[in-house]
Chain A
Amino acid sequence: MIKTLMTLTEKVLARASGKTHVQPGDNVWVGVDTLMTHDVCGPGTIGVFKREFGKDAKVWDRNKVVIIPDHYIFTSDSMSNRNVDILRDFVREQGLPYFYDVIDDPNGNWTFDTSKGQLSRQYGSRYTGVCHTTLPWKGHTRPGEILFGTDSHTCMAGAFNQFATGIGNTDAGFILGTGKLLIKVPETMRFFLEGALPAGVMAKDVILHVIGEIGFDGATYKAMQWEGPGVYTMSMDDRMTIANMAIEAGGKNGIFPCDQKTLDYVRERVSENGTKQDFEPVELDREQSFSYDKVFDLSKLEPTVACHPDPGNRKLAKEMGNVSLDRAYIGSCTGGKTSDFLAFAEVVRGKTVKIDTFGVPATTKVVRELKETMWDGLSVWQILESSGVRLTENASCAACLGGPVDTFGRLNQPMKCISATNRNFPGRMGNKESQVFLASPYTVAASALTGRITDPREFIS
């Protein structure tokens, strides 16, 4: 029986550690429901696991390990290709059921074929794309549970009323062997949303506004809990965008209450992929203790930009028309969902982009949905292409984090780029003298059309 008067994060951590009550500062051992790793940190995690538990060791629970190659996939870099092969060898050896491989042959090797170019599909039937967007799609996110991942944006799954956070290889190797991790219960900050978003303003603007408000380290070591009527007006995609960027304020996790939208979304997906179906959400208590508590009126928000060189460097898009741009980019876990591309397409439809514009769907499902969604006889994919957007079918993290030099969309020279991604520290998208401006898909689209940072309300009635 879980006692009341705890925040959502405290409730999840209490349950996972077998306690009736926890409070901020407590160090607790939690049982892990899901551990996710990918091609960048998976090989090192496997290395730690084997070094510490022995070369013949078995993972603690093969149904709780999810491996998603997604970072450096469509590159001729041989080390990157090798790292995908290391994952496949481990999956085969351990008999892991949840591996979203690039190729279909479980005994094969992955090599990117540069002669086919960057745009057309080079993956098999099981490949999914970006890990954080794959996890909910494939039924690995469930309310009330604990998810750790070797990636800082693992916090995105907090949209589904779970505790989700990023860890390093050593901690992940420890979990592979034991299924447990010692963590400190964070203080909780509450962000209470009222009203509804006005036209031209998106969930991305909410999180950029909030990070600007509390600062790039304003949530360090803390949980960011989202509440209020405004939350329930938002789609699961919107909530994911917001939870995703908790880390950009230094947060340990972001977490949302569970409502009917959450339940419908999760139930549909856990039944599709044969993952665990039962779960128990954590409910909001009437009285909770917060280290910060503030109300935000969504109806007052405007299109917002996080300027170079950090995600807390906030300005309004309408004040930045004098900043000319070299490139626009839409993609990533934060900004590469189907709903993000639809918003982008609304703005550019029937017009032509003025600067180099790259689009990288987060997952292979997004690719399919953009091709199947028809607007007046044309697919959204065609609409985007005819506007001059360079779209690739090869869903992945791509240039959001730079990557190997031949990565699609990477900033290989000093340039100014407006991007629907989540991070803009120097060098994040490639060249370390380049500048990245973070914005919503609407704002990225409007700016792509004009070649300067542009308030999308100039194009949206």
Chain B
Amino acid sequence: MNAALSFHIKLQRKDFALDVKADIPNGITGIFGPSGHGKTSLLNSIAGIVTPDSGYIRLNGDTLLDSNKKVNVKIRQRRVGYVFQDERLFPHYTIRKNLLYGEKNPDPELFDEVIDTLQIAHLLNKKPEQCSGGEKQRAAIGRAIISGSKILLMDEPFSALDVNLRREIIPYLNRVHQKFSLPILIVSHDLPDLLSLTDNLLLLKNGQLQGHGKFTDLLDQPENLELMHQSGWYNVLHLSVLEYLESKNMVLLKSHKSNLQIQALTQTIGKDVEVNQELKVLIKPESIALSKEPVQNISLRNQVAGTMKEVFLKDGLAFCVVDVGENIIVEVTEASQKSLCLEKGQRVYCLFKSAALKIY
């Protein structure tokens, strides 16, 4: 794997130990885990705010920390852009001065591109106190990029925002990644928010790495399922627009990797999405029903055939991992699983409403 960031961080505090080793590819990676399990300590170690007891951190081939070689690059020389949970814009400066704090004379093209991508041009002469939570968040992201960061670390970027603002910031982050091709590491204890941005996850529990990889691949492990289930979760499918079914107000989406095709409501994707444009489609595991045969005469628009890969039972629920071209998780009751005799290797049909889909 071509890693943008590699690290092995060991940190011992009074009642807490962090020991995490991972190679992070370029792209958006989500760090997920319950509160107090080491996510922020991990980000702080990468940024240099906290010094690990031992280990190494390498960013794009540059060593930021190597306890064996006694290398520990200072915070200010790491070029790690840190977007804090509470934005931390400087209250006595305007947004423009905040943006230029790290780099007084940035490339004008970059500056314009950042304010254009994040749509903060109208805020430049305002003080942070005059901006909304979402605007401050965008300004903080812009400040980190303009200061010449080689990676963006974001600590719980959604927690300070209400539900509408969360949805607002997500497209900006996707755009930032695409335009500036910066690796982005996002910490969150909210899995659905994280999954709306990325399906490349790093799972942390009790300061240890429990899993690292694509969300759908992580579903294979029962302990991962348990960890992720606690937070509420979604299936994430990468689909693109195949065609608009105008008369029905529906759109047909297909997967690049498999024959998977599903129908969604046009209004959920917006009118300006073009054919072949890739979209992220989210569906809750409990919104999917299973049947062993195709069902005739039913209002549900989606019936996707797949093979049962795993079944895990917990607290009266059955978590079924179904391969429909990629893994999706389906949550049914244990009673249903028993009465239908749903087992590994069986062919099943996943049934869900078009209206149950969230699309980004």
A and B assemble together: no
Interface residues of A (CB under 8 A from B): none
Which B residues contact A (CB, under 8 angstroms)? none
